[in-house]
Amino acid sequence: MDDAADQVVRDAWRRLADAGLPSQARHRSPANRPHLTLAACPELTAPIRWELAGVAAALPLPVRFTGVVRFERPTSVLAWALDLDPALAGLHERVWDAVVSDSPPASLNPFHDPARWSPHITLGRSRRAGAFAGRWVPGLLPAPPLPARLTTLRSYDTETGTVEVLRPLPTGGGP
C-alpha cells in the first residue's frame, strides 16, 4: 500500500486502540503493516513464485476504499472494504490461480476463493464474537484513503515470521 494510505490505516489502528477496542496496532510484530490478503498457501513453490513474479509486474494498482465492514468468521473483524473493480478482481484471480496451481486444495482458505473473496484492510480483530457490535461509532475512524495504490506483493511466512517481497521477473527472464 502506498505511504499515504499506510499512514491513514495506522491512524485508524491507533484510534481503535485508544478507544479500548481490538486493533491491529496491538500486534507488535515488525512484519505487521496495513495489507490486503490476496491468498495463502502452505509453501511458495517454484511454479507459484514464477506466476507471482508476473503478478508483481502489474503493480502499482490503484484501489478505492468503499467504507467500513464487519465480519464474524470465526473471529470478529472490523475493516475498510475495497471496491472489487475489474483490475483488482483480475489481480486477485491471478494470485489465486498461482497458489491453486501447486498447492493441496485442502490447504487453501476458502475465503480467498474469487467467488467468496471480500477485499478489505483489517483495522481490528478479536477472537471474541461480536467484539465490535455496539462498541464503536463511525466518527471514531478517520475517513478511509480515497484512492490508494497497492504497491508491493509480499509473502509472510507464519512459521518463521519473515516477510519476503516478491519482485517481477527481469525483462526477458525465464523459469
Q: By residue range, what is the domain housing residue 125?
A: 3-29+36-152
Residue 56 has pLDDT above 60, yes or no: yes
| Domain assignment present for 68 | yes
As a whole number of angstroms, the distance between CA 3 and CA 150 comes to 10
More confident residue, 105 or 74: 105
Query: How far from 102 is each of 37, 48, 51, CA to CA, in Å?
Result: 19, 7, 11
- Indicate whether 137 belongs to any domain: yes
Q: Tell whether 106 is covered by a domain.
A: yes
In a domain, 52, yes or no: yes
Give residue 136's pLDDT.
65
CATH number for position 11: 3.90.1140
Domains in the chain: how many in total? 1
Q: Which residues are bridge partners to 157 per DSSP? A: 162
Classify residue 167: in a domain, yes or no.
no
How far is it, in rounded angstroms, from Cα 20 to Cα 135?
A: 9
171 in any annotated domain: no
- pLDDT class for 27, splitting at 50, 70, 90? confident
How confident is the model over 135-148, as pLDDT tens digits? Answer: 766 788 888 888 89
Average pLDDT over residues 52-77: 92
Q: What is the bridge-based pairing of β-strands 65-73 and 61-63?
A: unpaired
- The answer to whether residue 159 sits within a structural domain is no
